Amino acid sequence: MTAAPPLLAPLSAVQVGPLTFGSRHIPLLAGPCSVETPTQMALAAKAARAAGAAFLRGGAFKPRTRPEAFQGLGVEGLDLLVTAARAEHLPVVTELTDIRHLDAFLAHGVDLIQVGSRNMANYDLLKELGRIDTPILLKRGLAATLQEWTGAAEYVLRGGNTRVILCERGVRSFEPAYRNMLDVTAIGVMKESTGLPVVVDPSHAGGRAALVPALARAAIAAGADGLLVEMHPFPEQAWCDADQALTPAGLESLMASLRPIARALGRDL
């Protein structure tokens, strides 16, 4: 058996369109948890762009804990997401939950495919995503060790898709007072050991909008290469994850508070 080729170059940056993850610039990926209506998405896209976001996020296929919960609009949601984003000249990031939806993702020109926490260890899905050339945002599993997360990334990389961006979103802990425990230590460890850029999602970590700004600031201070933040034009009306969505104004003020931290580290966002 021949030795496996090295997968990871030291500190490799990942190019997605004109953006480079793992460079001086720290992209913001913002938008609602789920795609709901054309108006909601148009307002979200405008607000994301106004706050300086580089990507519009929005889930069309939602992996929900309960089967009776809203499961996402499916392909119709992809249409709404892409239409709203393109009107504001933004690329999109959205979650793929099932390989049978991949053709629709490619047909819609999804710029960055998110693998959610619940699918981090779906190895058949990861193998298939290794065969395409769309970049992958690989979230950390609900309770995955860094070794398990690295293994998941290697499934994609080994297939030949070298554009993998990691996303720390907090892990399940013994503490019920917040949704997940943001592992800021993982940011530096994973950047060092894999060379891949690490984006942080403070929204699914905190689970409450009031906690998101401090977690986002901690993430930037700890070396995050991007932020994935949930924002809804009317958070109290959100169909999914209403408690953790920032308002458009909240996202703008968050960005203003992050810029001096990034600057102090020789970076910008």
Q: Which residues bind Mn ion (CB under 5 A)?
A: 33, 241
Q: Is 101 in the site for ligand PEP (CB under 6 A)?
A: no
175 in Cβ contact with 164 (< 8 Å): no
CB-based contacts of 242, cutoff 8 Å, min separation 6:
232, 235, 236
Q: Which of 112, 93, 99, 111 is nearest to 35 (CA)?
A: 93
- Can you read off the two tokens belonging to residue 85? 């984003």
Q: What distance in Å separates the CA atoms of residue 120 and residue 2, rounded to the nearest whole number?
A: 28
Shortest Cβ 146–Mn ion spacing (Å): 23
Q: What distance in Å separates the CA atoms of residue 215 and residue 106, rounded to the nearest whole number?
A: 33
Total number of residues that touch ligand PEP (CB under 6 A): 10
Closer to Mn ion by Cβ: residue 62 or 163: 62
Shortest Cβ 127–ligand PEP spacing (Å): 19
Q: Is 204 in the site for ligand PEP (CB under 6 A)?
A: yes
Task: From the list Mn ion, ligand PEP, none, pick the one residue 117 interacts with, judged by a Cβ distance below 5 to 8 Å according to partner type.
Answer: ligand PEP
Q: What distance in Å separates the CA atoms of residue 140 and residue 150, rounded to the nearest whole number?
A: 9
Shortest Cβ 131–ligand PEP spacing (Å): 22
Shortest Cβ 238–ligand PEP spacing (Å): 11
Shortest Cβ 59–ligand PEP spacing (Å): 5
Site for ligand PEP in 218-247 (CB under 6 A): none
Closer to Mn ion by Cβ: residue 33 or 220: 33
93 in Cβ contact with 137 (< 8 Å): yes
Site string for ligand PEP, 38-77 (x = CB under 6 A): ---------------------x---x--------------
Closer to ligand PEP by Cβ: residue 111 or 201: 201
239 to 5, 34, 123, 169: CA distances (angstroms): 45, 7, 30, 20
Return the ∠ at Cα 181 (arms to 242 and 95), rounded to 5°: 55
Closer to ligand PEP by Cβ: residue 141 or 248: 141
143 in Cβ contact with 162 (< 8 Å): no
- One-letter identity of residue 37: T
Site for ligand PEP in 112-171 (CB under 6 A): 116-118, 139, 169
Shortest Cβ 118–ligand PEP spacing (Å): 6
- Contact positions vs ligand PEP (CB under 6 A): 33, 59, 63, 116-118, 139, 169, 201, 204
